[in-house]
Structure 1
Amino acid sequence: MPDVSELVKKGKALLVEGNFEDALAYFEQALLLNQNDSDIWNQKGAALRSLGRYDEALECFNKSLEMDPTDRHSS
């Protein structure tokens, strides 16, 4: 089973490639292993935003900011 960092790395690569559905799946897998990482929530939000799922994306960005209010990369 891949670790969280491998899942996030693969998800980010897929996001850059424009493969948003698969990227989202990797970020969701990573969150199953670590719910407390603001970067993963932010990445999931980016994938959702790219898919036009704005309400869900906003929830992820808000969760990321709750965990790390100083994060300048959210949204």
Structure 2
Amino acid sequence: MSNTTYHIRIKKEYAAAILEDLQKLDAVELLPGEELPIPEWQKKEVRKRIKELQKHPERVVSWESASKKIKQLAK
């Protein structure tokens, strides 16, 4: 069997139960987040965005507002 890594998206309401069942079957290995390295390019991007927000706090948009706009655009 190949050692392929798959990424899946599980709906929140099912995630805990599915992961529990898979663990009981010894079908998955859960890794703590700190074992997965964050790429340096991603850290740089976050630092850049934080600096930009500190310079221009008036550009900050609440999650509620952003979510509402995304839903409107998706229609």
Shorter chain as normaliser: what TM range? under 0.3
Larger Rg computed on CA atoms: 2
Give the number of the structure whose residues are more often helix, by fraction. 1
TM-score (normalizing by structure 2) = 0.24
TM-score (normalizing by structure 1) = 0.24
Higher RCO (CA-CA < 8 Å; seq separation 6+): 1
